[in-house]
Amino acid sequence: MDLGKILIIFISSLFFFYFIIRKNFLYEIYLDKDFLKPQSFHKNPTPRIGGVIILVFSIFYLLFFTEKNNFFYSIILLGIIFFTIGLFDDLKFKFKPELRLLYMFIFSFFIIYLLEIKIAYTQIQLLDDLINYNKISQTLFVCFCLLFIINGSNFIDGFNGMLILHYLIILTVLYLLIYKFSDFNYLKNYILFSILIGFSFLIFNFPNAKIFLGDGGAYFLGANLSLIIIEINKLSLLTKFSPFLFACLLFYVFFEVFFSFFRKMLFNKKNPLKPDAEHLHMLLFYFINKKINSLSKSNYLTAVIVNITYFLLITPLFLIYDNGKMCKIYFAVLILSYFCFYFTLSKKNY
């Protein structure tokens, strides 16, 4: 697919975002009026229809502008499934977190098993032996990885531009890393498309949000990013990329879920699946708002600071992407950095 066609889709998506916002299209069924959630900071009702547009354009691209393969089928099927599960929350259907997670697991397990989606290797011998024991173990491992990233994407989607900026940074890094490899042409085109469609949404979501992704959109972006990385990992024998390169790139969305789960269960003594207001980006928001006393500015400044910090932290990966040992060490550095930021902010806020 040439650049001209991608640009046509990009311009079309801009038109659709503008049209829907301007004409109040479907506002009443998608309008976010719930300001009581601990992770909600916006003051005015805002439509949560952004994910719908991204999903529709992505499926249109995959159906009509690409050669069909398992990678694209997995994005269509899993994307629709996760988007639909998130959509129930966007439409204010009562959905217990445990039940939602169960549905996500069942549907993703079935699709992953059917399409034989697998993570080739992890560079941890014991884990590689375990996941390669049989097809069930392979499927379970991919399923758990997918659920971590999808739920992590939803976790950080609480501020204007937060998730979409993070998503665009990771996609751009991936595009630059695979640019010179001809075997990735179909993937490079899709990543470029995903960057442009994400940027078209960003224009209307940042710094002042006229539209939100919604849970459905956050789930779709998480699934889309996960499947792109799994596909690159499958071809990494050609590129010599370390699997821990991808672990580092996905660190924030993964570790936010991982750390929050145990923090809630062990320290807060609460249901780890229930939302709360003690995530790293929320602590940063409170700290900024104490300094400048402006909810709207603190909102988008939180997204800017988190993503600039993240970008600076992952920049060294361009130098060590093929060095498994160094990537493992750097993953540990990222964990230590997270703890330093988290507990420093926690002390300043309380």
Q: Is the pTM of this model over 0.85?
A: yes
Please give the Cα distance from 11 to 332 (Å, whole number): 41
Beta-bridge partner residues of 32? 46
* pLDDT value at residue 194: 94
3-class state of residue 47 by DSSP = strand
| Nearest to 34, CA basis, from 88, 92, 81, 110 | 92
* pLDDT value at residue 236: 67
Domain hosting residue 172, numbered range: 3-349
Q: How many domains does the chain have?
A: 1
Whether residue 76 contacts residue 59, with contact meaning beta carbons closer than 8 Å, is answered with yes
Q: Considering just the CA atoms, what is the radius of gyration of the chain in Å?
A: 20
Supply 225's token pair: 């990013």
Question: What pLDDT, in 10s, does the model give residues 158-183?
Answer: 789 999 999 999 999 999 998 887 77
Supply 236's token pair: 């990494």
* pLDDT value at residue 45: 63
3-class state of residue 168 by DSSP = helix
Q: Which residues of the chain have pLDDT under 50?
A: 29, 34-36, 38-39
Please give the Cα distance from 331 to 79 (Å, whole number): 28
| Nearest to 158, CA basis, from 313, 314, 14, 283 | 283
Query: What separation in angstroms does the CA of 295 have from each of 66, 143, 159, 258, 291?
Result: 43, 37, 11, 28, 11
Q: Give the chain's count of helices (H) and strands (E).
A: 17, 2
Whether residue 135 contacts residue 117, with contact meaning beta carbons closer than 8 Å, is answered with no
| Nearest to 177, CA basis, from 229, 223, 224 | 229
Supply 293's token pair: 């006393």
